[in-house]
Amino acid sequence: VNRSFFEVQRCNAAVLGGFRPDEGVVLCHNNLTNRTDMENMLTHELIHAYDHCRNKNMDWLDLKQHACSEVRASNLSGDCHWVNEMFRGYFGVENGHQKCVRRRAELSTAMNPRCRDRGEASRVVGEVFEQCFKDTRPFDDIP
């Protein structure tokens, strides 16, 4: 990885950053307001980079592959820590982490150009959820 793998830019969309296959990670400086958000975003995007590197045939337009990476990134990055969920207005305790991971993976998968709508995103995430949620690589467990 060289310096060009990370790009800091002003983003028009309400996102903290993103992963661009074969380019790297974008950090949206105008939307990153605190250290925790930046750390979670970097971890999330680096999970995508890890998935891209370990799967030689990774096709980000394939909804199942994309959804699986989104489940993993939401699960392993801190996105769904209970404090973050509380600040988002989600106070459910029972299966809160899994519900958050599913919701966030559906939102991201729905942005895939090949995804017709949120219903299709929900269906595809549901198909891959159990297997991909259990996959904690490169970590031993959920951090």
Give the side-chain half-sphere CA count within 13 A for 8: 6
Annotated catalytic residue within 23, 39, 45, 127: 45
Task: Please give the Cα distance from 134 to 143 (Å, whole number).
Answer: 13
Residue 108 contacts by C-beta under 8 Å, 6 or more apart in sequence? 66, 70, 74
Please provide residue 9's backbone torsions phi and psi, each rounded to the nearest 5 degrees.
-150, 165
Q: Is 127 in the active site?
A: no
Contact 61, 113 (CB under 8 A): yes
Helices (H), strands (E): how many in the chain? 5, 3
Instruction: Supply the residues annotated as catalytic.
Output: 45
